[in-house]
């Protein structure tokens, strides 16, 4: 009985150690074989879908001015939205809420948000011009995944997006 228990414990220990070695080996191989994503030229801690495309140095050099212009414009629009949002919150905090004024501010925010969406679309169109067809396809897949909470399916897929 003692011998069988010892064999069972040693077998279990061997299995755990083998799986640990296999996991470490896999992660080492994966990190050694796959290229790391290039950092965003404007913010190394920030992550953007184009970083996972394996862009060449020439492509990245073309992406820098696009990213700089895009992020600058988005920062302006975000600041305008934040200002209007804070004003709206202040108005909502008053004893008597001025509904016509809050509606005007809400419409202002909607205009800025529409402008942000337009800027994003133009930026995507300009960025795609820098990419190869394969990179463009991967880029769109990444956008779809990031905007669909990790799902890759499209509402326009042949099966209606139902899996």
- Model pLDDT, residue 12: 82
Average pLDDT, the chain: 81
Q: How confident is the model at residue 41, as a pLDDT?
A: 42
Q: What is the pLDDT of residue 3?
A: 83
Asked if residue 105 belongs to a domain, the reply is yes
Q: Tell whether pTM > 0.85.
A: no
97 and 120 belong to one structural domain? yes
Average of pLDDT values for 93-100?
Answer: 95
State yes or no: pLDDT of 139 exceeds 70.
Answer: yes
Q: CA 153, CA 144: separation in Å to the nearest integer?
A: 8
CA gap 3, 134 in Å, rounded: 60
Whether residue 42 sits in one domain with residue 25: no
17 and 53 belong to one structural domain? no
Q: Which residues contact 63 (CB under 8 A, 6 or more apart)?
A: 41, 50, 55, 127, 130
List Cβ neighbours of 42 (8 Å cut-off, separation of 6 or more). Answer: 64, 67, 68, 71
- C-alpha to C-alpha distance for 72 and 35, rounded to whole angstroms: 29
Q: Which residue has the higher pLDDT, 112 or 17?
A: 112
Shared domain check, 57 and 122: yes
Question: Does any domain span residue 54?
Answer: yes
Contacts of range 39-42, beta carbons closer than 8 Å, 24 or more positions apart: 40/67, 41/67, 41/68, 42/67, 42/68, 42/71
Q: What is the mean pLDDT of residues 11-34?
A: 74
Query: Across residues 95-120, what is the average pLDDT?
Result: 96
Q: Would you place residue 37 in the very low, low, confident or very high pLDDT band (cuts 50, 70, 90)?
A: very low
Quick one: 57 and 127 in the same domain? Answer: yes
In a domain, 130, yes or no: yes
Query: 156 lies in a domain?
Result: no
Domains identified in the chain, total number:
2
Report yes or no on 45 lying in a domain: yes
**Whether residue 140 sits in one domain with residue 60:** yes
Alpha carbon 17 to chain centroid, angstroms: 36
- Mark out the alpha helices in 56-152 (DSSP H runs): 57-92, 99-130, 133-147
Q: Residue range 126-132: average pLDDT? A: 93
Residue 131, domain CATH: 1.20.120.1490
Which residue, 109, 43, 111, is CA-closest to 82? 109
* Domain that includes residue 61, residue range: 38-147
Q: Are residues 29 and 81 in the same domain?
A: no
């Amino acid at each position: 009985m003692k011998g069988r228990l010892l064999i069972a414990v040693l077998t279990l220990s061997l299995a755990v150690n083998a799986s640990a070695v296999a996991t470490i080996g896999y992660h080492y191989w994966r990190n050694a074989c796959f290229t790391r994503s290039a950092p965003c030229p404007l913010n190394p801690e920030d992550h953007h879908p184009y970083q996972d495309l394996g862009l060449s140095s020439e492509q990245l050099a073309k992406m820098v001015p696009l990213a700089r212009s895009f992020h600058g414009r988005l920062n302006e629009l975000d600041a305008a939205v934040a200002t209007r949002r804070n004003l709206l919150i202040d108005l909502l905090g008053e004893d008597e809420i001025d509904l016509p004024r809050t509606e005007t501010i809400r419409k202002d925010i909607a205009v800025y948000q529409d402008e942000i969406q337009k800027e994003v679309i133009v930026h995507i169109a300009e960025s795609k011009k820098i990419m190869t067809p394969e990179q463009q396809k991967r880029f769109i897949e990444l956008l779809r995944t990031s905007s669909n909470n990790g799902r890759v399916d499209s509402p326009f897929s042949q099966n209606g997006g139902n899996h």
